[in-house]
Structures are given as C-alpha cells and as structure tokens.
Structure 1
Amino acid sequence: MRVPLALFDKTEGVSKRSRITCHYKCGDACWHQPPNTSDNAYFRDIARAAVSRRSVLRGSAAAVVAVGATSALAACGDNGSSASSSTTSGSSGTSGGAAGAAVAGMNFATVAPNTEDALIVPEGYEQAVVIKWGDPVVPGAPAFDFDNQSPEAQAQQFGFNNDFAGLIPIEGQAGHFYLVVNQEYTTEEFMFKGYKPKEPTEPQARISMAAHGITVVEVTSENGSGKLTPVVGARNRRLTASSPFTLTGPAAGSDFVKTSADPAGTTILGTIGNCSGGLTPWGTMVSGEENFNNYFTGAASVTDPVAKERLDRYGFDDEDNYHQWGKYENRFDLSKEPNEGNRFGYIVEVNPHDPNSTPIKHSSMGRLKHEGANIFVTGDGTVVAYTGDDQKFEYIYKFVSDKKVRPGVGAASMQHNMSILSTGTLYVAQLTGNQPDQIDGSGSLPSSGSFAGTGKWFPLLTVTDDGAESRVEGMTAQEVAVFTRAAADKVNPTKMDRPEDIEAHPVTGKVYCALTNNDDRGTAGEAPVDEANPRNENKNGQVIEITDDHAGTTFTWDLLLVCGDPAAADTYYGGFDKTKVSPISCPDNVAFDPHGNLWVSTDGNALKNNDGLFAVALEGENRGQTKQFLTVPRGAETCGPIIGTDRVIVCVQHPGEEDEYSADKPYSNWPEGGNAQPRPAVVAVWKPGGQIGV
C-alpha cells in the first residue's frame, strides 16, 4: 500500500491543477509516494553530497474569432508589451533582447496573465472552435444532448478531454486534412448531473469508455482564414476503450499479456489515457498511453510478491480508481484478469488514410506512462523516436529504428513504414552536470552561468525481424518490453522532474523536453537535486535542450528555461532579460513554428493564472525570450498545440474542472456561453489577412 503524502496543504504555491483533475486524470499520482523507489547507483552517488546541502536549505526555509458569449481579445499593450505575473515586481519591458531585436514569428501583442473564463488571444487575431465534446464524427451520429447521453451515441461523437492534435494533409485534396486528436480521460462528475463519485451506473461507465481513445475527422480550410470545418464522412473514425488494436514486438504473445478473452496475447481492446503524441513522416499518428493504471480495480487482491512489485512500479492502487469500469467489465478487474493492466502503456500508431485499418501498439518502444512520442529522421533515413515517462522521478527514453523510411504513402511504403517502430533499440538517458558541486537546490546558477552537462543513452532492448534481445542483465526481452520501468531502473538513468512532451527541432535537430514540476524533489527519502533538476520542491518546472547524436549514445544538454516568476531568483530564461518575458509555469507540450521558435503549452500554472501557450526564441540575443500567445478558460489546460503559418490550433482540456464544482454546479460555460455546460474543444486561432507572429 502506498502512503499518501497529503499530510499538509500541498496547494500553496504549487500547481493549480484541481484535486478532482488529479482524481480522474492520473489517479492522484502527485499525492502519493512516487512509484520509483529504486536506489540505483546514480542516486547513491549523488545522495551523499546532497544530504548536507538539503539539511542546510531546510533549516533556512524553516526560519523564514468569437466563440460563444465568452470570446475575448487580449486587453494588453502593443506588440512590445510584456505581461507580468501578479507575483512579480510588475515591471513591463519592451520585447526583444539587449538590442531590442524583433523575432520572426513572435511579433504579436503579448497576452497578459489572467483568470478569465474565455480563450484570450492577441489583439488583431480571431478564433473559432473546430470541434467539441459530443459533436458528430461519423455518418449517422446523433447531435449531442447533455441530458440524454448514451454509449452508442458517444462512440460516434467527439470524445472527452482532447489532448494531442495533429493535422495530416489528405493526398490529392488541397485544403483537406485529417485532424487526429487524443481523448485522454473522462471526468464523470462534469459529464453527468447527479453523478456519485466511484459509483457509476453501467450506462455512465460505458459512455466514459466510449469517450476515450482517438478521433480522426476530416476538416476543410478556407482561403484567407484559419478556420477549419469538420466534414462528417466516410474518412472519419472513433477509436475507443473497446476498439481492437494489434500488439507487436516482444510483448506480443508473451505470458504477460494473455487473457481469457485473448489467449494468443496479440489483440487488445481499447486505448486509454492517451496523452500527447506525434506525426510520422509517412503520414500516421503515434499516441502515448499514459495514466492507464487508475482504470483498474483488484490490485489489492494480488499477493504474489513479484506481481505486486510490478503493479506498484506503475502505481496500480484500488483507492485511485475513480472510473470503476471493473464493475461492468471483468477485464478491468485485476482479480479476474491479472494481465489486462500489462496491455496498456504503449505507443499506439494509427493510419488515418485507411479508416478500416487496425491500429498498432508497439511494445518494442517500451511500456511506460508515455506522454507521447515524436520522431526525427537522420540523414540516412533512420527513425529516432523520443518519449518521456510522465511521472515524478521517471526517465527520458529514445527508440532508434533498424529500418529506413521509404518515401510515399502507397500501400507497399505504408506497410513497410508502419513496421519501423517495431524493430530497433530502446534506450534510456543518464545526464551528468558540468558543475555538480555548485547545485544546492536553491536554483542558483553555477559559475558558468548556465545549467549544462553531458549524457549517455543506455540500451534496454534490441528488436529485429529475427527476434528480440534484452540488454538488461537478469531480464528477458519480453520482461523488458512489458516492465520497462524496472528494466530502466537497473542501468542507472537520471530521475527527472516529470518528463512530458519531447520533440526534436526539425532544422537544428536539437531536442526539447518539458519537465513539468516535481514538488517531491529533494524531500525526505526522495532523489536530491542535480544540475538537470536543480531546485528542491520544484513547483514550476523547466525545459531542457539536448544536442543529441541521434542514432548514437552520447549527447550534451543545457536548461533553456527554469520556469516560474521572472522576479524570483530561482528562475532562468535562457539568459534573456527576465523583466521582458512572459511568466511561464508548468511546461507540458512543445511544438515549433515555421520560423524555428519553440512553443510551449502549460498544465497547472503554479503562478495561479490560467494556463497558456507561449512562444520562446531559441537563437541569438533573444534566446530565452518568452511571450504568451493565448490563455485558456478557467479550470482548463492548454494541450496539443499546432503552430503553422496560417493558424495556431490548441486543445482546451477540462474547462471548468475545479474542486467544489460539477455538472450540477458549473464553474465554466465555455465555449458556448450563457448557462451551457463546459465542453472540451479544439480551437483554431488566426490573424485575418496575415500570418501567425508576422
């Protein structure tokens, strides 16, 4: 049994994510002891040096376009204005670096921090909802009726709590795209009036199952506008918690994934907890199954010590199951189907060009709480996929293919390319700081003026068409593929502060990873600080920049952003003047614009403002300049950004999801306004007659 850590009020000065979101999204992961209790060599080597520093610090601390009725534009200054957090000194400088140079793609009026129940965009920009929860997706789907929902209707409609979004051009049809979207999780208390927590009716549970998964919907664009319009047609599909998936790689057919319904261990029903994702050069979508553990009951019935240890490493706990699907489907009850939990936690690949195709789960890429996966192709066609394991003290991974990309989206090329992520080598990262003796947990920069170091990739698993080889002593290839966290523990990787979205720059090849936060860093019994994770009780997160030998095993790294109040001494904005930046907290997703700037969306802003989307300059004198482009409505999280020339697309997840509120007492009425229930939605933002940030 894991021991809850909520022995004091953890809400003061930390992520503003509500407790109810924690219940349904991640099973209260941040309110428990982190499941990574490994005492690997890396931890032991640095712990001794850190203990005395932590003791001193603790002693010191003890002493001291319109969308409904709620549309809005930024009530802020001109393009040179800067927004300051309510916790900063309030200073506001002009944009640009020391010389005031403008950054292409970042020329927009900075949106000020706020708590409005609206999606706020820069002055001169317009917005429109593309699709929202309950909208019809497939032909014959009924119109959404909040008070008369059904599992059958939901399986044909847009799902709940959209996260990742991607646009894939439809070959031969200019202006037509596949919009691919994850439906990460459901919050039943905001879906049904009169809902009793942990006591769903069978229809409610099955509606919830149908609201998960992935949506593929055709959309069309308009000349001179960034607006996108869904087409309800034959190209569309909904993948839910009940759709069949094919399992590939070493896990397929192993005794760890066989069930009474699937004795072959190769066909899995459903995908759940789908967080971020990515697009492949061959035109498919890859999606990460993240917080899957909190959909299962029966963990307490497991008494075998090995099986229990494996469940604990992924955080299975009956107390955290707020969905209670196991009451109506045996496969979600581990006392009846002990292997079902091993069938989730993979990277999923979907071919949107063929609505009848069976999507794949790639076990060669490991079983984690994948935030997502993003692909970089080297000069010789080798595919490198980066992924983060999104939980406190978990690791950064990459997968290097042994096959090369074939051009084209024809049947032969697609068949080959969709096998690329099934064979190759899975690695986990170890990071070493350049000045470890100068890291004391306060966030103070070392004498070099930056947090930086080197790193190594350690192999865990190699898979070829001829078979699979474990690279971890004492574990089989099947065990590595299914119990990847335990395999990684054995090779001494670096425990990170919640590695979330990670993506390589399409031009420079540098890799950027959002590390959202970790308020357990440096606390009693947990991993101490290191140069990549330099703050005790890290509440605001950081963004790391990795210069990788993509297909190799070495890299260098530095921290681009150490997020938080710019007026605070423990923050760092790439060396840029902190009086001229937008405050950013709890980075989550990363993306790039056509000009080469990094864009970062946030989740749980610890500065107590609404979450937002930020552009960040990466080069020259403006490196580290951060400007807020938009904010999402109150209670919401900013997800799935797509940054193009003509539009920015964001997924607005869980609007109005705050404690003490529910469908019976809404906290938000976005996007429809009036007295409407809040509905998660995908939104497009554009500049009429112009380009984004120009």
Structure 2
Amino acid sequence: MRLTPLALFVKHDGQSARAAVTCEYKCGNACFHEVPNTSGGAYFGDIVSSLNRRGLLKGGAAAVLAVGAGSALAACGDDARNAGSATPSPNGPPGTGTEFGAVAPNKEDAIVIPDGYDQSVVIRWGDPLFADAPAFDFDKQSAAAQAKQFGYNNDFAALLPIEGQANAYLLVVNHEYTTGPHMFRGYDKEAPTDEQNAITQAAHGLSVVEVHGEAGTGKLTSAFGKYNRRITATTEFKLTGPAAGSDFLKTSADPTGTKVLGTIANCSGGVTPWGTVLSGEENFNGYFANSDKVTEPAAAARLKRYGFTPGKTPNRWERTDKRFDLAQEPNEANRFGYVVEVDPWDPASTPIKHTAMGRLKHEGATIYVTKGGDVVSYTGDDEKFDYMYKFVSSRKVQSGGGASSMRHNLTILDAGTLYVAQLTGDHPEKVDGTGATPSDKGFTGTGRWIPLLETGSDGKGKSLVDGMSAEEVAVFTRLAADKVGATKMDRPEDFEANPYTGKVYVALTNNDNRGKDGKQGPDEANPRNMNKNGQILEIDDDHTGTKFTWSLLLVCGDPKAADTYFAGFDKTKVSPISCPDNLAFDPYGNLWISTDGNALKSNDGLFSVVLDGANRGATKQFLTVPRGAETCGPVVTESRVLVCVQHPGEADDATPENPLSHWPDGGAAQPRPSVAVVWKKNGGRIGF
C-alpha cells in the first residue's frame, strides 16, 4: 500500500556571517558576482493593480496533505523566554503559541536546546547505510565507500512512517554541496585527485535510510533497512515534461535529451501526498566551467542570466568529467536546475526531473492540496532580485496503493500551469528603505500570478510568453519571468502552507544589494535597503487561481533595531532572528523557521512563531546549531524535532589540522554534517 505522509566567516561587509569558503563551494560566490537579474523588473510604484482585494478567496477551508517538513546582543531575558507561551490546545485554535524557555544567542560548539529537552545524533556524514559498507574513516575515504555511506552537507529532511511498523520511519535527506578543503587533509583545490573528485560526486544527491524510534523518548537510530538507498551525482534520472527531448537538453552522451546522470546542489524540498519526496536543484551554475568559451550570443546571455561565471569551478570536476566543461558540453548545464522527484519506497525506481515546473535555482518545492483535490506546488528562485513561482497541476491524486495509481501520481507534476508572482504594495509612497512600518496594519498588498507555461496531458507545452517557445520557457524560465514583469524579491527560499488556514509563508533570506547604486530600490514586500536580515512573507492565496493578498509577518533582525517588525507583537519579548531559510509547521499550526547566515553574531538556529491570537508574531529561539553551521530541514512533529546541521566548523581559517568545530563527536574529532533529533525529556509534546 502506498503511504500518505503524515502532517508532520569572512564577513560580507557586515552582512551574512557565512564564511568565504562556504560561499565558494555552496553558491559559487554569488554574493561577489554581478546579480544575474539585470532586467527592468517590476517596481511596485509602477504597477497599477487591477485586483479587488476584498474579492480574493481565503484559504481557511482548504486541506493540506504536505508535511513540515553584530552588534553584541543581550541574552533573551524572562520576557523573551515566555513570549507567546499560551499553551496551544490540540482541539482549540491553531497556532496560538508554544511553551518552552527561549534559548539565548550564543557561539557554542554544540546544539543548545531548552531546559527539559534532550537530543541525540541520528546519522552523520559517512555513516554506513548498508551492511557491506565500511565504517567511516576520515583518513581512508574512497568513492566506493561514500556511495554506500550517508552523504555530505545534509539540507532537506523528510520523515515518513513505515506502514505496519510501530515507531519506524524512512528518513529522506538531500546533500547540497561538498567542501573539499574540509573533507580531506592536504587538499589541493587547484588540482584535486581523481579519487577526491569521485568522492565528492558520491557525497552529493540524496540518502534514504530506515530509522527506528526508542520507546519513551524521541530518539531515532539508523538501521540497514530494505529501502535504504544512495542517489549521487552519477545516478540516472529521467527528464519529463515539455523540455524532455529538446535540442537544449541533448548532449554527446545523451542524444535523446531524456536521461541525466545525477542531481547536484539539492537544497530544500517537499513531500507529496502519494508518498514521494521532492528536492530542488539550486546553485547548479557553480558546477560548470568555462562559460566564457560559449560565444554564441543567445547561449552566452542565457548562461549569464543563470549566474554562470568564466573559468574554473570550485570543485574542479571538469578536470575528470567533461560533462562539467561547457566548452565541451554546452547543453549539460541545461539538464540541471529542476525539481526532482524520488520514490523512496522503491529503491530500484528511476528518479524524475520535472521540466514542466521550470528551470531555476529551486530552493525546494512544497505541495498544497485543496479541498477539491487540486495539487499546487510552490517554489522560490534563491537569488537576489529573483522570483516566486507556483505550479498548478491539471491532474488530481489517485488514492490506493496499486501500481497504476502510482504511475498516474508520478505524472501529476508533468501537466498543468506554471506561474510567476507579481506583487503590489498598499502604501508605496511610504516605503523609503528604512524598514519603517507604513501603516498600523504593517506591510500589506495584493498580487497576481502571471502564467508562463501550460503543459497538456500529452506532455507537450504551450508557451504563454510572447516571443518564447514552450521549450525555451521550460529551460530558461528566468528569462520568461523577466519578460512578464515579475516582482524582484530578496532571495525567495522556502515556501510552506499552513495546514489549518491554507495561508502560504515564504522565507526571504536577505539582499544586501537592495537599494545600492544601479540596483532596484525598496518596495513594501522588500522594504529595506541593503537588507542583511531578511523577512517572512504571508500570502493568502487563491491556490488554483491568479489572485492573492499578502503581508509581512516578520521583518527580521535585532528587535532593538527600528527596522524590525514582528506582526505588531511587543519587540521586547521576542528572540533576535536573522536570515530565515527553511520553514515548517508543527501539528498545531505554529510556524518554525531555521536560519542560514545569521548576521547578528550568533550561531544559526530554529525558531517558533505564533501566527494567531493575541501573541501573533511572538518569536522564540528553540535551538542553536554548532559553530560555523547552518540550520536546515526542520521537521517538527508532536514528539520530536529534527534538524539537519550543515557545514559545522566551516570557516576560512579552519582546516582538518586545525578544526573550528568538533561536533558531533567531540574531543579531537573532525566536524561532520549530521541530522540531529530533539525531544522532551518526559516524553511530552513538543512546545508544551
């Protein structure tokens, strides 16, 4: 039976606290290159809204089947520890608060959690997934071993119950990128060995691993289960949708344009109602060398719009694999940047790349199913001044566990309409770049979804953008969105829909180029110049239609600063929060936010936010991750919280001989990206 998942440091001019080495390997130094979006774009003040805000549909009646997933700062005092602590009732109004003592900002080399909670590590980089896999040895790595071990830099996580087994789950995790200087002693970044390149390719992709719960606690332990699987940068994928077979996707190794080896740069993701896992290919541009050798004008312009840069790549895979040399395989890069779908219940299945959902730097893809059974996927293009998208399928979910139902469900994301968002502010004349609240209701506005591409039941596409073919819209989606005047956002990352209200939340991480000379200025959804701390957007969407209203739930940063906003909640009673990245919901409708690149001189963390009632906007820090790490992939259930701790100890002056962090093993051990779990010591409910 097919399961339905349960709702479950070189500083950048005072901006993000990411180390330069992280920027180099994670996003190809995007912050140090010209912003790829040089289009005219859409300024709020120039858009004449034709929307009737009062006529928009509300999401309260909808049902969702997806899961969740500086200055020196004063430590949070008693007011912050108790902010929004009204105990939520499982049978009462959703999203009314959480009960735990807020964790203070810190720089500890540990996961710091509230009093009354406990924690453990579920799985670490290099831990074996199969009985015949060797134990991890930092000094004796091999590609063959890594292909059977847990991958590097875990980001998104999904926890799927195994039918018929009490307290047993599949943990599905993707692996975003690798950092050679921190993985190997004596690493020569100019000339990695062939074996090192093969190891880093094997450390990408996804891991599927069976985990078992412990009676009386929330602890999870990995096991050698029959579903365990590694997907890497060399695993075969199938291309589907209107670009499959396109000349843009054909290479010397694949003249059909329908098969791709591997998935890379996987960031966040989502879980589908039919039991599969989605993952977004994000910073794929940083893996391809020699964009300057592509001289055909149209192709060169496309590469520039996607952020490809001249010369060598950080990983140097092009030395051993011509796929990653654009001078030899100019189309290979067009085969990355998609939403991928993996069936974790069938280890022999071929994963899919969905071209109908567009090609961009997908942070992830999250699914919302309306009361009428319509399937909607939301995704952000994680780049400064890029856009927000949704895909509305023309197919509905088929229930049951039969093979025919699964075959149908695996095509749901191959037929439908792709849209991009355009937003209008209610108070454009009051937005001056300082972040000052423009009205007593905060930052508010309306918006519309502009259609880009329609894919029929036969898989063939119809372009809805003048001057572009369907294949061009599917493969060069950014250019299509430029043409229709989509609104430039401050790095749109994760989307999550509230399972109770249907409202959609978007993490806008930061944009320190906002308002700089020659760059687009502030607007009501992106209200600060040189925005280093980010914001959370709340959308009340007509999910299958084209209209929505929006407001800013949070304008993040130090609550002592004038340019922060917490939905009108008392700022003396909230935790400082910076650079929101991934989002999740607990079973009671409270929003949880993980951060990446905290610009407030504290470790990154995980925060709860109240969405309804008198405490709306109350923000509390639940945990912090170790030095140099980023908080990813939160899963918040009634009994446990999972976080992916990515790149612990990653700093410019750190080396394997002089590590910044020794987490998770302590002592003199090397830092290892890992998945951790936190639970209440008495076995109670999270947040109560």
Per the shorter chain, which TM-score range? Answer: over 0.9
Matched with 2:574 is 581
Judge conservation of contact 1:502–1:514 (CA < 8 Å) in 2.
Answer: yes
Q: Is the 8 A contact 2:76 2:575 kept in 1?
A: no
Matched, 1:308 2:308: no
**Residue 331 of structure 2 is aligned to residue 331 of structure 1:** no
Cα drift, residue 521 of structure 1: 0.2
User: Which ranges of 4 or more aligned residues in structure 1 deviate by more than 6 Å?
Assistant: none
Equivalent AA in structure 1 for residue 523 of structure 2 = D
Task: Please give the residue correspondences for 1:424-443 in structure 2 after superposition, counting only pairs within 5 Å.
Answer: 424-443=416-435
Q: Please name the residue that 1:693 is paired with.
A: 687
- Alignment pair present for 1:168 and 2:155: no
In structure 2, what is the equivalent of residue 489 of structure 1? Answer: 482
Query: What is the match of residue 32 of structure 1?
Result: 33
Cα deviation per residue 1:247-287 (whole Å; 9 max; x = unaligned)? 00011000000001100010100000000001001111000
**Displacement of 1:88:** 5.5
Match of 1:284 among 272, 276, 284: 276
3-state SS of the aligned residue for 2:199? helix
Q: Is the 8 A contact 2:76 2:103 kept in 1?
A: no
Give, as a single letter, the amino acid of the residue that structure 2 aligns with 1:590. L
Q: Which secondary structure does the structure 2 equivalent of 1:205 belong to? A: helix
Match for residue 86 of structure 1 among 72, 76, 82:
72
The structure-2 alpha-carbon separation of the partners of 1:465 and 1:94, relative to structure 1 and needing over 3 Å to count, comes to: closer
1:508 maps onto 2:501 in alignment: yes
Match of 1:547 in 2: 540
Tell me if structure 2 keeps the 8 A contact 1:282–1:408.
no
Matching residue of 1:565: 558
Q: Which one-letter code corresponds to 2:120 in the other structure?
A: A
Q: Distance in 2 between matches of 1:589 and 1:10?
A: 22
User: Would you say the 8 A contact 1:251–1:478 is kept in 2?
Assistant: yes
CA contact (8 A) 2:41 2:488 kept: no
Equivalent positions of 1:210-249 (< 5 A) are 210-249=202-241
After TM superposition, give the deviation of residue 95 of structure 1 in Å. Answer: 5.2
Question: Of 144, 157, 174, which aligns to 2:136?
Answer: 144
1:691 maps to a residue whose letter is R
Contact 2:83 2:620 in 1 (8 A): no
Amino acid across the alignment from 2:616 = R
Partner of 1:187: 179
Local SS of the residue matching 1:334: coil
After superposition, the C-alpha distances for 1:133-181 in whole angstroms (9 at most, x for unaligned) are 0000123111101001011100100000000000111222222211000
What code does the residue aligned with 1:259 have? T
The change in CA–CA distance for 1:188 and 1:10 in structure 2 (over 3 A counts) is closer
Segment of structure 1 superposing worse, 451-460 or 410-419: 410-419
- Say whether the 8 Å CA contact 1:133–1:159 is kept in structure 2: yes
Contact 1:276/1:288 (CA < 8 Å) preserved in 2?
Answer: yes
User: Is the Cα contact below 8 Å between 2:81 and 2:102 reproduced in 1?
Assistant: no
Aligned mates of 1:449, 1:402 — CA distance in 2: 36
How far apart, in 2, do the equivalents of 1:230 and 1:86 lie? Answer: 40
Displacement after TM superposition at 1:12 (Å): 4.1
Question: Could you tell me how far apart the structure 1 residues matched to 2:388 and 2:80 are?
Answer: 36
User: What amino acid sits opposite 1:554 in the alignment?
Assistant: K
- The separation in 2 between residues aligned to 1:490 and 1:612, in whole angstroms, is 38
Equivalent residues of 1:88, 1:566 under 8 A apart? no
In structure 2, distance between residues paired with 1:657 and 1:485 = 31
What corresponds to 1:112 in structure 2? 104
1:320 to 1:11, Cα distance in 2 relative to 1, 3 A: farther
Could you tell me whether the CA contact under 8 Å between 1:27 and 1:320 is conserved in 2? no
- The residue type equivalent to 1:87 in the other structure is L
Distance 1:176 1:41 in 2: 49
SS in 2 for 1:620: coil
Paired residues for 1:607-622 under 5 Å? 607-622=600-615
Q: How many residues align?
A: 649
Q: Percent identity?
A: 64
CA shift for structure 1 position 447: 2.8
By relative contact order (CA 8 Å, sep 6+), the higher-ranking structure is 2
CA distance in 1, matches of 2:14, 2:79: 26
Matched, 1:530 2:530: no
Aligned to 2:3: none
- In structure 1, the partner of 2:662 is 669
With structure 2 as the length reference, what TM-score do the two structures score?
Answer: 0.92
- Is residue 477 of structure 1 aligned with residue 478 of structure 2? no
Q: Is it true that 1:263 corresponds to 2:255 in the alignment?
A: yes
Deviations 1:416-442 (CA, angstroms, capped at 9, x unpaired): 111100110000000100000000000
Q: Do 2:76 and 2:105's aligned partners in 1 also have CA atoms closer than 8 Å? A: no
Distance 1:402 1:618 in 2: 31
Give CA deviations for 1:500-523 in whole Å, capped at 9, x if unaligned.
001111111000000000000010
Counterpart of 1:13 in structure 2 is 14
1:581 Cα deviation from its structure 2 partner: 0.3
Shift of 1:43: 7.6
In the alignment, what sits opposite 2:650?
Answer: 657
Task: Give the whole-Å Cα distance in 2 for the aligned partners of 1:594 and 1:409.
Answer: 25
| 1:639-691 deviations in Å (ceiling 9; x for gaps) | 00000011000000000001111222211000000000000000010012211
Shift of 1:92: 4.9
Amino acid paired to 1:322: P
- Label 1:330 to 1:90 Cα distance change in 2 as closer, same or farther (>3 A): closer
Partner residue, 2:197: 205
Cα contact 2:82–2:99 (8 A) shared by 1: no
CA contact (8 A) 2:525 2:552 kept: yes
In structure 2, distance between residues paired with 1:643 and 1:20? 30
Match of 1:384, SS state, is: strand
Question: 2:145 aligns to what SS in structure 1?
Answer: helix
CA–CA distance in structure 2, aligned partners of residues 602 and 114 of structure 1: 14
- 8 Å contact kept, 1:103–1:622: no
Moved more, 399-408 or 155-164: 399-408
Provide the C-alpha distance between the structure 1 equivalents of 2:291 and 2:370, rounded to a whole number of angstroms: 43
Give me the whole-angstrom Cα distance separating, in 2, the residues matched to 1:18 and 1:320.
20
Structure 1: distance between partners of 2:390 and 2:118:
38
RMSD: 1.7
Distance in structure 1 (CA, Å) of the matches to 2:77 and 2:176: 38
Distance 1:139 1:209, change over 3 A: same
Aligned partner of residue 256 in structure 1, secondary structure: helix
Residue 287 of structure 1 aligns to a residue in which SS? strand
Say if 2:241 and 2:356, in contact at 8 Å, map to a contact too: yes
Indicate conservation of the 8 Å contact 2:82/2:100, yes or no. Answer: no
**What corresponds to 1:391 in structure 2?**
383
Query: 2:571 and 2:443 mapped to 1: Cα distance?
Result: 17
Deviations 1:96-141 (A, max 9, x none): 669x745566111111100000011111111110000000012311
Which is further off, 668-677 or 410-419?
410-419
Partners of 2:316 and 2:284 in 1: CA distance: 13
Inter-partner Cα distance in structure 2 for 1:600 and 1:94: 17
Structure 1 portions without partners, runs of 5+: 1-8, 47-83
> Are the aligned partners of 2:86 and 2:98 in contact in 1 as well (CA < 8 Å)?
no
Spell out, residue by residue over 1:398-429, the C-alpha distance to the aligned partner (whole angstroms, 9 max, x if none): 00000011123332221111110011000000
> Aligned pair in 2 of structure 1 residues 13, 449: CA closer, same or farther (>3 Å)?
farther
> Is the deviation greater in 101-110 or in 579-588?
101-110
Please give the per-residue CA displacement for 1:366-409, whole angstroms capped at 9, x wherever unaligned. 00100000000011111000000001000000000000111233
CA deviation map 1:471-507 (0-9, x unaligned): 0000000000000000110110110000000111111
Q: Deviations over 1:529-563 (max 9, x none)?
A: 00000000000000000000000000000000000
Give the structure 2 partner of residue 70 of structure 1: none
Query: 2-side partners of 1:21 and 1:587: how far apart?
Result: 17
Tell me by how many angstroms 1:444 deviates. 0.3
| Number of the residue aligned with 2:50 | none
Distance of aligned partners of 1:523 and 1:635 in 2 relative to their CA distance in 1, 3 Å threshold: same
Query: Do the aligned partners of 1:294 and 1:320 also contact (CA within 8 Å) in 2?
Result: no
1:459 aligns with 2:451: yes
CA contact (8 A) 2:643 2:676 kept: yes
